[in-house]
Chains A and B, each alone.
Chain A
Amino acid sequence: MNRLIDIAKNPLTIALVLIAALLFLGNTLSPGFASGGQILRLLIVAALLGIVAAGQNLVILGGREGIDLSVGGVVSLSAIVAGNVMNGMDGGIPLAILACVATGALFGLFNGLGVTLLRIPPLVMTLGMLGVLQGLLVVIRQGIPSGRAAPALSEFVTRPFLLGLPGIIWLWIGVGLLMAFILHRTVFGQRIYAIGSNEQAAFMAGVPVRRTRIALFMLSGVFAAIAGLCLLGYSGSSFANVGEQYMLPSIIAVVFGGTPLSGGKGGYTGTMAGAVLLVVLQSILTTINIDESGRQMVFGATLLVLMLFYGRGRGLRA
């Protein structure tokens, strides 16, 4: 019986049940909503969000109010960088990947240095960095055209690649396996949980706290950059501030995945389900025939209700 309750309380179970319920609801409201092709389209969108959320997940797990508000800016910037480097040619893809990863890692490094060496709270540091990134976007946009995706990249994101699934889904599965490996099978992963649950104790135990935290922010930048690259493939060309829509949803996906914002607990499997849940919810709202205002109200209210299913803060006791 206790085992059953544990399973029922598991964030992953909650997310999966909610996803199934929403798919059922969607299919009732508009038949064909839960068809194979439609689910595939939802998964592609979820993969983009999920890859951003992977980095967000790492930063949050690392604790000390870890959060990365700059991911949206990195996604946008990376899409532009990639578009210009490849400029519609397949041959430019390897270089574009390199350029994106470098961009993401660089801004992650800045965030990490600010948070560790200068001890600026992550929220403040990454908020400031978001402002810088948005300014940089304006500069780049005025100077150079926005660039085009290479055909192979678009195909990778939108066309079936293996077993009927597009490459980006496989990439996301790969990210999921990689995250599980990092978090549960490596020393680095152990260190993340250690500094996330008690930084002082981890430091005493010889964990290189600063280096670990800097690595987390760099990884967050890299994941956001990869998502930006894929987003370019998804939309064909980059347009103004495409990444902004990922900033807070990536945090919500993490929370819906059962990782509390206080850090030190949770993992990525739940976050993947959280990302799918968020995307399915949004997609249901677009299929229902109500106007934008009503859609937003329902979305906001539903998010609040869903949050109730997940860990609420502990009550105060004397």
Chain B
Amino acid sequence: MTTNASLTKQDGGGFGTLLRRFPFLPALLIFAVLLVLNGIFEPNSLSFRSLTGLVRTYMALMLLAVAQTYVVYAADIDLSVGAIASLVNVTIIVLMQHMGGGGLSVLAALGVGVLVGLACGLVNGFVVAALRLQAIVATFATSIFFTGLALVILPVAGMPAPTVFWRTYGGSFLGIPFVFYAAVALAILLYLLARTRLATQLLAVGDGQQAAFQSGLPVTAIRIGGYALCGVFAALAAFCITGDTASGDPLVGAKMTLFSVAAVVLGGSALSGGFGTVAGSVIAALIIGLINSLVFFAGTPSHWQNLVQGLAILAALMVGVLVSRRGRA
């Protein structure tokens, strides 16, 4: 189960070793197959324009999946990521509106948004790690609280985002769409975070809380750190949601919470903690996007689309769990 299992365990086969080093391989394979299938059913779907659209739409889910991954590293779970994203969404929308919607007000609002996400994450970390409540039910309770807060800030959906905000998110810079800059920035950020002490410590705590504690790690602080990181990434996801929908909606993120959990599992991370990668979660978020577009391009009648999507995601989850287990057995 450990990330350093390859050092201590004699591996049975080349595939197992490969999986231990790159737990996201199954996800990458599914991703490639889906990409090809999309191309077969609708060659146009592989055009630069379509792929840009895919990344733009699913950037938010990618970030939420990353957020969830850091918590899952430590064998915790956060059912409030969607609510945090909603709260940040309405917060920045209202702030930008109040401050006139200029470039500077956007930046200020985004700064506040990150802080709100961080604060929510700290609250979650406090109730789960410090008060030692059960993560599933405790974060569900905080999600209700955050949703209430979002409803205070913006009672009904609909306040528009300033033009400069969504024009930037949906636009291009030097001929390259903005979302690709964001994707590159995300990749660099994730790479740097993966090398931090916190990432390693989260995995160590997930692998065995007692062992981590006995070897002198501040387990409670580390778990709170995981939730804080999760809150910040949920805030970043909210920025993308806002850029994509160009409006505020106090309930916009609610549906995304369970998808973020699905993406983490699909990406090869273990819900039992101690094993996983954020890269896998990012790929898995795109898999969910590709499944949705494939179902559409394959000509599924509209009211059957949800069922086919559900079945495809369930199948992908099963394959993901079964294959990635071989790497850890």
Q: Is the interface of B mostly helix, strand, loop or mixed?
A: helix
- Chain A residue at minimum C-beta to C-beta distance from B135: A261
Neighbouring A residues of B155 by C-beta, 8 Å:
291-293
Residue contact A128 to B314, C-beta cutoff 8 Å: yes
Number of residues from A at the complex interface, CB < 8 A: 54
Contact of A252 among B137, B220, B258, B303 (CB under 8 A): B137
Residue contact A135 to B311, C-beta cutoff 8 Å: yes
**Counting CB contacts under 8 A, is B306 at the interface?**
yes
Given contacts A135-B309, A304-B127, A312-B133, contact A299 B261 (CB under 8 A): no
**Counting CB contacts under 8 A, is B138 at the interface?**
yes
Q: Beta-carbon contacts of B198-235 to A below 8 Å, as 1s and 0s?
A: 00000000000110011000011000000000000000
Neighbouring B residues of A295 by C-beta, 8 Å:
148
Interface residues of A in 63-89 (CB under 8 A from B): 65, 67, 69
Contact of A297 among B77, B138, B148, B313 (CB under 8 A): B148
- Chain B residue at minimum C-beta to C-beta distance from A130: B258
Interface residues of A in 283-318 (CB under 8 A from B): 291-301, 303-304, 307-308, 312-318
Query: Among B143, B146, B304, B314, which residue has the most Cβ atoms of chain A within 10 A?
Result: B314
A175 to B141, CA, bound (A): 28
Neighbouring A residues of B314 by C-beta, 8 Å:
128-129, 131-132
Neighbouring A residues of B148 by C-beta, 8 Å:
292-300
A251 to B79, CA, bound (A): 13
A120 to B220, CA, bound (A): 29
A315 to B131, CA, bound (A): 10
Q: Is the interface of A mostly helix, strand, loop or mixed?
A: helix
Contact of B133 among A292, A308, A314 (CB under 8 A): A308
Given contacts A124-B271, A128-B317, contact A255 B213 (CB under 8 A): no
- Chain A residue at minimum C-beta to C-beta distance from B313: A131
Residue contact B306 to A307, C-beta cutoff 8 Å: no
**Counting CB contacts under 8 A, is A123 at the interface?**
yes
Neighbouring A residues of B35 by C-beta, 8 Å:
none
The interface-forming segment of B158-166, B240-248, B318-326 is B318-326
Can you list 8 A-B pairs, Cβ within 8 angstroms, ordered by A?
A124-B261, A255-B134, A291-B151, A293-B152, A297-B149, A299-B144, A304-B138, A313-B132
The 3 closest A-B CB pairs, nearest first, are A300-B145, A296-B148, A135-B307
